[in-house]
Structure 1
Amino acid sequence: MNVVDRQTQLRRWVMPSSEFEKDKQDRALRMVKSAVEAWPAFKGVSYTIYAKGSYANNTNVRLDSDVDIAVQNRECLYYDYHACERASGEVTSPYAGEWTPSRWRAEILAALKSKFPGEVSGSGTVAITIDEHDGTRPDIDVVPSFAFVRYDSSDKSSRHDGSKVFPLSGMSIVNYPDQQLERGAAKNGRTNGRYKKFVRALKSAENQLVADGTISDLPSYFMECLVWNVPDRTLLSGEDLSAGFQSVLVWLWDHVKEETYVRTDWEEPNGLKYLFHGGSKWTPADARGLVLATWQYLDY
């Protein structure tokens, strides 16, 4: 691949969803909202519905326009004390209402099946999926979730609002979509838009490498996490997209190339979870394989 071909490839890779794709994505969110709002079991129930993931953060790549939507129960609150203890004497009452994780998921599944007959699957361990339809809406992943708060001080003065998900596998997952959105937008502003461009470039590279059979499929969020940890000054280096993306790959390789070295300080974009700590869905070896294969594909 010569310099011109590489630059042309990267221009395609960094492009966000087209206006047509955005319209489909927006329509998907409206349709899920209408399905939930019309379902009798949810009358009078406190909940929020919002887009999350690549669609919400504008890091999804062109022609890859699936939508992640959370339906979040606010009838009960899950919480945790992080690196601190609950204040002595605090009295709390456990939730005794009807909205268990299994009931919440079951009613959301029923509401979606009523709205999208024959197009909904609840077999996934985390999300309920709705198939793409006639080019008018993309694939949709609907995630049943609950309100969650992480307290970083015993008096609750330091808190982080998030979302708790209960996969069918039995292990709960905590996410912080608001923090991811806010911090990602700030980093993108500091880097003149290069942060999200290079996230899309790495996601596009992964799509290509998986299609070619070069690497195994990786979660889209993983590529966003990797680029998040690249310093702003590195993202800003290089006169054009090719030189800039090359700097990103070099920085990542320099920090994951040692097989015996494990990064412990890298964060997810939300700034509240570490990337390579126990229980992660990815490893430094995944990063090594992706970065090396991307470098070789672009023939740097």
Structure 2
Amino acid sequence: MAISEGQLETWSHIGAQAQSAATYHAIKGALEDKNAPFAGRGFKAFLQGSYGNDTNVYSESDVDIVICLTEAFQSDISQLDAADTLIYGANKGGAVTYGFDEFKAEVLAWLVKTYGTGVQAGKKAIFVPGNNSRRDADVLVCVEHRRYTRYRSIFDSSYHIGICFWTTDNEKIINFPKQHIENCTIKHQATTNRFKPSVRVIKNMRNAMIDAHYIAEGVAPSYFLEGMLWNVPMQNFSWTYQQTVENCLAWLDGCDPTQLACANDLHWLIRDGTNVCWNMADFRTTMAALRLYWNTSGR
């Protein structure tokens, strides 16, 4: 264990909070302004990502904000049995007249009007540049997604609520950010508040590995690192960061990676060919680089 406990302790610290909170409240306020063209629509605005989950490190700048249309939704009925599928089909309504495209266009126009021409629509999210009081922010426009597990009637059904959006090249992406945050908080509490600082240690370690050319940028996204550690059993989160890192790496070295879940516990963490999972090659590259850096750094 070549990395000192002091360095790991420094890496465990949370990144800037005050300006990130101010950024979120300012943009959320703008999105909820009664003069916005979509003000009469049903929607919710909330944080996601590292700032929403308190796992942000100092090098992270953008604040991720979701605005989700709730008056319309996308459905996944693949888990319903034949009888429930028939009932769902009989009760399904007609085509919506206001959906993702209309909502995103109005949100983009309002953000440009509010914050100026520096606001730009990216492949996934709308970028809102920061200023002296605000950090840069990414606003993800989406619609509610329901993954049904049971459907007996409109009033008697069970489903997981997530979000759904389309990229500029029409790729559909479904995720479950609220379950991710809730499950990470449960894990944090169950590990006597060791989980989230340990995530920050690994994220800072990844950043140091990129700087030292142990790994290429983009191979180990923060979301997947967080999900990876979420799978590690609670007893591996020790009272020292050195022992925690060693325990976690040892457990991950010995696990079956195909059985790891994302922290939302509704997607697999590692699968090839899907836009919500880590591919196996990048996972193995990350693990090999983590082990090498851990064993040799500072010697």
Which TM-score applies when normalising by structure 1? 0.87
Alignment deviations for residues 54-77 of structure 1 (CA, whole Å, 9 cap, x no partner): 111111113424211001111212
Shift of 1:274: 1.0
Equivalent pair of 1:253/1:292 in contact (CA under 8 Å): no
1:184 matched to which residue of 2? 184
Shift of 1:164: 1.1
Choose 282-291 or 169-178, whichever is displaced more.
282-291
2:102 matched to which residue of 1? 103
The answer to whether structure 1 residue 169 and structure 2 residue 175 are counterparts is no
Shift of 1:137: 1.9
Number of aligned residue pairs: give it: 284
1:92 matched to which residue of 2? 92
1:23 matched to which residue of 2? 18
Shift of 1:118: 3.5
Shift of 1:173: 1.3
Rounded Cα–Cα distance in structure 2 between residues aligned with 1:229 and 1:284: 16
The answer to whether structure 1 residue 75 and structure 2 residue 110 are counterparts is no
2:201 matched to which residue of 1? 201
Choose 285-294 or 177-186, whichever is displaced more.
285-294
1:279 matched to which residue of 2? 274
Rounded Cα–Cα distance in structure 2 between residues aligned with 1:53 and 1:270: 12
Rounded Cα–Cα distance in structure 2 between residues aligned with 1:210 and 1:232: 28
Alignment deviations for residues 199-248 of structure 1 (CA, whole Å, 9 cap, x no partner): 11111112222233331223210110110111112224xx5111111111
1:49 matched to which residue of 2? 45
The answer to whether structure 1 residue 264 and structure 2 residue 258 are counterparts is yes
1:153 matched to which residue of 2? 150
Equivalent pair of 1:61/1:200 in contact (CA under 8 Å): yes
Distance 1:40 1:195, change over 3 A: closer
AA matched with 2:135: P
Rounded Cα–Cα distance in structure 1 between residues aligned with 2:108 and 2:65: 13
Match of 2:233 among 231, 251, 257: 231
The answer to whether structure 1 residue 114 and structure 2 residue 113 are counterparts is yes
Unpaired runs of at least 5, structure 1: 257-262
Rounded Cα–Cα distance in structure 2 between residues aligned with 1:243 and 1:152: 40
Shift of 1:299: 3.3
Equivalent pair of 1:6/1:298 in contact (CA under 8 Å): no
| Percent of paired sites with the same residue | 28
RMSD: 2.1
Rounded Cα–Cα distance in structure 2 between residues aligned with 1:143 and 1:7: 38
AA matched with 1:7: E
Unpaired runs of at least 5, structure 2: none
Equivalent pair of 2:46/2:65 in contact (CA under 8 Å): yes
Shift of 1:279: 0.7
1:260 matched to which residue of 2? none
The answer to whether structure 1 residue 221 and structure 2 residue 233 are counterparts is no
Rounded Cα–Cα distance in structure 2 between residues aligned with 1:9 and 1:289: 24
Distance 1:76 1:139, change over 3 A: same
Rounded Cα–Cα distance in structure 2 between residues aligned with 1:268 and 1:46: 29
For 1:279, what is the secondary structure of its paired residue? coil
The answer to whether structure 1 residue 142 and structure 2 residue 166 are counterparts is no
Distance 1:109 1:213, change over 3 A: farther
Rounded Cα–Cα distance in structure 2 between residues aligned with 1:96 and 1:287: 40
For 1:69, what is the secondary structure of its paired residue? strand
AA matched with 2:243: A
Rounded Cα–Cα distance in structure 2 between residues aligned with 1:29 and 1:147: 21
- 4+ long deviations beyond 6 Å: none
Equivalent pair of 1:130/1:139 in contact (CA under 8 Å): yes
Rounded Cα–Cα distance in structure 2 between residues aligned with 1:234 and 1:279: 30
Equivalent pair of 1:77/1:149 in contact (CA under 8 Å): yes
Shift of 1:194: 1.7
